[in-house]
Structure 1
Amino acid sequence: MEFKSKDFTDSRRVLKIRKLKVGLTGRPNAAPVLNEIDLDIRAGETHCLVGESGSGKSVTSLAVMGLLPKDALEIQGGLIDLEGVEITYAKPSVMRALRARRIAMIFQEPMTALNPVLRVGEQIEEVLNMHTDLSQAEAKKRTLDMMEQVHLPDVDRIYQAFPHQLSGGQRQRIMIAMALILDPDLLIADEPTTALDVTTQLQILRLIAEMQERHGTAVLFITHDMGVVAEIADTVSVMQKGRIVERAPIRDLLTNPQEDYTKKLLMAVPNLAPRAARAPATAKDVIIVKGLDMTYGGGGFLRRSEGVKAARDVNFTIKPGRTLGIVGESGSGKSTVARCIMRLIDPTAGKVSVAGTEIAQLSRRQLQPYRKHLQIVFQDPYRSLNPRWTVARSLCEGPINFGTSKEEAMDKAAELMELVDLPRDALDRYPHQFSGGQRQRIAIARAVAMKPDLLVADEAVSALDVSVQAQVLDLLDDIQDKFGVAMLFITHDLRVAAQICDEVLVMQKGLVVEHGPADEVLSNPRHDYTRTLIEAAPGRHWDFANFRAMERVPALKGATA
């Protein structure tokens, strides 16, 4: 494993933070959100800020940008210096002048950061119009040039596109173009690759490194993914509960972490070593999928079109207590297959048999009695749980609808809370009163309440911190052992698939390109696309749990290990 080993001692210091303290507005006696943060970043350096949700990473970046939410958080002490300019308590007009020109930020979710009713080219140009005297023609030329620098295809077409017409990776490239078009001294990237596929993530990380090399930009990169840290960092600061508990060059941090919290974060990172193979199941298949097709669009009154073939001739089976993982990039057809099986959408063709019943062609009314046999856990539990319902009501709704008495359902809900390691007395709380990991546990409990034969997990851990992610994966494993539930696990992260799946099915553009036992697919992939996915996995060469480089990395055809 090769690390970045540049020495930045003689480089100019771009950002200096000393004893920064941020607290709740109007509550000076409350515990601080940030407590005496010290940070230095030099030109050309990538400084990664890591830690779990709530550790203070994003608050640190918002304080530097002057974007702390009014009437909620305020700076209560310390110093923020941007190349000799103290901006700790700078007026809004001063910060507006510095943003984009001296300091810029890439946000985690470009779809919420970009204006949905403006063309993306206009949004990049807006930065030039606000901070330069370029003519309209010059601004457009500069914008198109910047779009080419971030490797967007067909820039004239994309210039005219709206955000919803672009892929997630293309939208993130637009955000990078917008952030770097005025060549700022400091770039803050707040979880810019969290929701992206591994191949798109790799492209974005390489792009940021390329732009940094070209412009000498200092980068403050915020992430909870230690795999990404291993790929890009020069220096790492570990945050916990508003404090920096450890700071070190990347080599030192990964090979010799000092703090228990740092060790905990590293040991929770999944790797590509497949789980130990479980004994083959001899029971009948819980689910049988044959020749599943799904085509979106097509037809029409005036003209016919073939539509988009999101899934083509998909075949697989899952036995009780076994997990099949479907992996691939966005648009590969993973979630389409899951939604067809759940009958959230109707497949165009094919058969889906669950617990011995063919459900693919049943009407909605006919399907109702069989819904209890299959349950789903979505990626974002906050959107799938009713915010106006207590946890008790969410857990009891399904059983009551299928004839269970309210008293029995409440007793079962209390047992389920213990099963997912949450207190019984939390039943009267609402979703917003829990952390993201706790909400996902509640969503899993709601699914298990129906005693399903098949549990579908659609990117169920992709938005969670690595430590919480590990806990949720362990919980799913325990549930399978106790109840013998078959599981269909949808993910774009091969490292997660390796930890939980018995079999792996790889999809590309609606087609199954590889399918087999997890250890065979991940250790000895046969298809070039599978090799590409594995090679793109961040931190693939690193054994985080043992603080050392991998002794053996699978030799992939056409790739350098």
Structure 2
Amino acid sequence: MNERQSDTLRVERLCVNTAHGAPILRDISFAIRAGETVCLVGESGSGKSVTSLATLGLLPKDALNVVSGRILLDGEDVLRVGNGRLKALRGSRMAMIFQEPMTALNPVLTVGRQIDEVLRTHTDLSVLQRRAQVIDALAQVHLPDIERIHDAYPHQLSGGQRQRIMIAMALVLEPRLLIADEPTTALDVTTQQQILKLIRELQQKHGTAVLFITHDMGVVVDIADRVCVMRQGHLVESGTVRQVLSQPREDYTKALLAAVPGLTPRPARPQALRAQMVLDVIELGKTYPAAGGALRWFRQQREGTRALHDVSFSLRRGRTLGIVGESGSGKSTMARCVMRLLAPTQGAVRVTGKDISELSAAGLKPHRKRIQMIFQDPNRSLNPRMNIGKSLVEGPMNHGVPFAQAWARGQELLELVGLPADAIYRYPHQFSGGQRQRIAIARALAMEPDVIVADEAVSALDVSVQAQVLQLLGDIQLSMGVAILFITHDLRVAAQLCDDVLVMRHGQVVEYGPAAEVLVRPQQAYTQQLMDAVPGKGWDFAAGGRS
């Protein structure tokens, strides 16, 4: 059998244009053998997802057209089969794991019913046979309490459990090809490690060919056999992991690798003890009341869910404190309590000396400008119906700044974050993801805050844009003296940005201290567990080899 015949997937000189004729993909060629994992890497807009959607026959026909080329699945060209055959191939011969399972899963159907739908569509199995196969699929992805999860709805499960369900659904028919599009981007390091291990385990069991799309070079080290680097619709470099990561030929690949943050914390900055204490959190707690409604009156009082318990830390002007931990550790709840988007049930939150934890809405208003938030997804936090200018001036005007002054300041801030002043007239959809995050930073700065709370502000960005945004935050902090509370699940990012690190688990502080101490010589087993789970931990991207 020759090499071409042994390939599960072979993409040959694939070209895709927009409906207006603009090229999106140009001469893309690569192959994947059974049991092999090929990673597609590159910046946002490089064509990675378009390549995967073309393979599945899911390109929007009114927007993108395949101009030329072939996509061979076990020798059959999926670009030249009818809709009926293509539908049969999806699920039975090729399947996909999407980046955001909460979006991909149907919120009104139980997990079991959604996996059962795949079997109903592609097999003639009886109801009992299908149920047995669904239960087996859930067992293969190591989910606990399978009967409960079978009957649960997506919103009742954690992010890691939802991603396992997506994997079970994709692999229930043992497809020859599995496409995974950024399946671990939003997951914390330990859950990510589990998902990568699970994909590899199931791949080896079933001999599946895997096309894995990611911007995380650490994930590439852990899961890939070969790597294809894409840029602006072109395949610029490909080879084994060692070839591409150790001896990259192209300057673009070298730049991507140089942008990967290291795990060694940056040199410690001297702490100015006289610097103003801008945020002081004292024994902060948050308990959600138990459900029960009217019936609660007739029942014994039940203790609610404790999301935060006695969290304390402080932050001085010009410093960055990183908050790290797994999903469900209480990081975002803590951030929302600090911002007073949630009312804490105990403790104090002092912003420049004033306790805002129990202030009324009216009492909070003058203090809101002192502490501002940058959310994870600027595409959702920016109003799509408002141009950038209106988003930038809304806050200052609510605090009495005249329109003309706020507008001029907005243009200055856009230039500060690396965008042209005339971008103020454009709308969010006219910017890239990295540009939108810069706008979100400008909006936070428009209030001239003492503290910025950044909640996973760079987790969805590719490595080069992430590096730019981190550099921007560092430069702004240096020039303006703002304090940053930086929430992240990426310990590489924490190492490069943060002066101090606080580790959370189950709503409590596990470890707290200088980044150089916590990340290099952790005192707690849980912190060490987080460090060990960092993807590609043993690879030195700067040196191009194992560390």
User: Given the two structures, how large is their TM-score scaled by the length of structure 2?
Assistant: 0.97
In the other structure, the counterpart of 2:444 is: 447
In the other structure, the counterpart of 2:16 is: 22
In the other structure, the counterpart of 1:418 is: 415
How has the CA–CA distance of structure 1 residues 225 and 11 changed in structure 2, closer, same or farther, with 3 Å as cutoff?
farther
Letter in 2 for 1:287: L
Q: Which of 97, 108, 115 in structure 2 is aligned with 1:124?
A: 115
Deviations 1:494-541 (A, max 9, x none): 111111111100000001010010010000111111111110110111
Structure 1 residue runs of 5 or longer lacking an equivalent are 1-7, 551-561
Moved more, 537-546 or 496-505: 537-546
Give the superposition deviation at 1:11: 8.6
Residues 5 and 75, structure 2, Cα contact 8 Å, conserved in 1: no
Letter in 1 for 2:450: D
In the other structure, the counterpart of 1:105 is: 96
In the other structure, the counterpart of 1:55 is: 46
How has the CA–CA distance of structure 1 residues 248 and 298 changed in structure 2, closer, same or farther, with 3 Å as cutoff?
same
Q: Which of 277, 284, 290 in structure 2 is aligned with 1:285?
A: 277
Residue 492 (str. 1) matches residue 489 (str. 2):
yes
In the other structure, the counterpart of 1:556 is: none
Distance in 2 between the 1:209 and 1:78 partners?
30
Distance in 2 between the 1:441 and 1:430 partners?
14
Distance in 1 between the 2:166 and 2:150 partners?
13
Residue 143 (str. 1) matches residue 143 (str. 2):
no
Q: Which of 211, 216, 226 in structure 2 is aligned with 1:235?
A: 226
Letter in 2 for 1:481: L
Residues 61 and 188, structure 1, Cα contact 8 Å, conserved in 2: yes
In the other structure, the counterpart of 2:186 is: 195
Distance in 1 between the 2:10 and 2:73 partners?
7
Residues 376 and 458, structure 1, Cα contact 8 Å, conserved in 2: yes
SS at match of 1:545: coil
Give the superposition deviation at 1:420: 0.2
Give the superposition deviation at 1:546: 2.8
Give the superposition deviation at 1:229: 0.3
In the other structure, the counterpart of 2:217 is: 226
SS at match of 1:74: strand
Percent identity reads 61
Give the superposition deviation at 1:406: 1.4
Q: Which of 233, 247, 250 in structure 2 is aligned with 1:259?
A: 250
Residue 90 (str. 1) matches residue 86 (str. 2):
no
SS at match of 2:358: coil
Give the superposition deviation at 1:301: 3.2
Deviations 1:260-312 (A, max 9, x none): 11011111111211011001122231111111000112384333221111110
Residue 298 (str. 1) matches residue 295 (str. 2):
no
Distance in 1 between the 2:190 and 2:339 partners?
28
Residue 457 (str. 1) matches residue 457 (str. 2):
no
Letter in 2 for 1:83: D
Letter in 1 for 2:519: L
Matches within 5 A, 1:471-490: 471-490=468-487
Letter in 1 for 2:61: K
In the other structure, the counterpart of 2:62 is: 71
How has the CA–CA distance of structure 1 residues 473 and 302 changed in structure 2, closer, same or farther, with 3 Å as cutoff?
farther
Deviations 1:200-225 (A, max 9, x none): 11100000000011011110001111
How has the CA–CA distance of structure 1 residues 11 and 215 changed in structure 2, closer, same or farther, with 3 Å as cutoff?
farther
In the other structure, the counterpart of 1:557 is: none
In the other structure, the counterpart of 1:3 is: none
Moved over 6 A (4+): 8-11
Structure 2 residue runs of 5 or longer lacking an equivalent are none
In the other structure, the counterpart of 2:319 is: 322
Distance in 1 between the 2:36 and 2:290 partners?
51
Residues 374 and 440, structure 2, Cα contact 8 Å, conserved in 1: yes
In the other structure, the counterpart of 1:558 is: none
Q: Which of 533, 541, 544 in structure 2 is aligned with 1:544?
A: 541
Give the superposition deviation at 1:423: 0.3
The CA RMSD measured in Å over matched residues stands at 1.3
Letter in 2 for 1:463: A
Distance in 2 between the 1:58 and 1:112 partners?
16
How has the CA–CA distance of structure 1 residues 514 and 11 changed in structure 2, closer, same or farther, with 3 Å as cutoff?
farther
Distance in 2 between the 1:96 and 1:509 partners?
44
Distance in 1 between the 2:312 and 2:396 partners?
31
Distance in 1 between the 2:148 and 2:338 partners?
37
Letter in 2 for 1:13: D
Give the superposition deviation at 1:9: 6.2
Distance in 2 between the 1:117 and 1:363 partners?
37
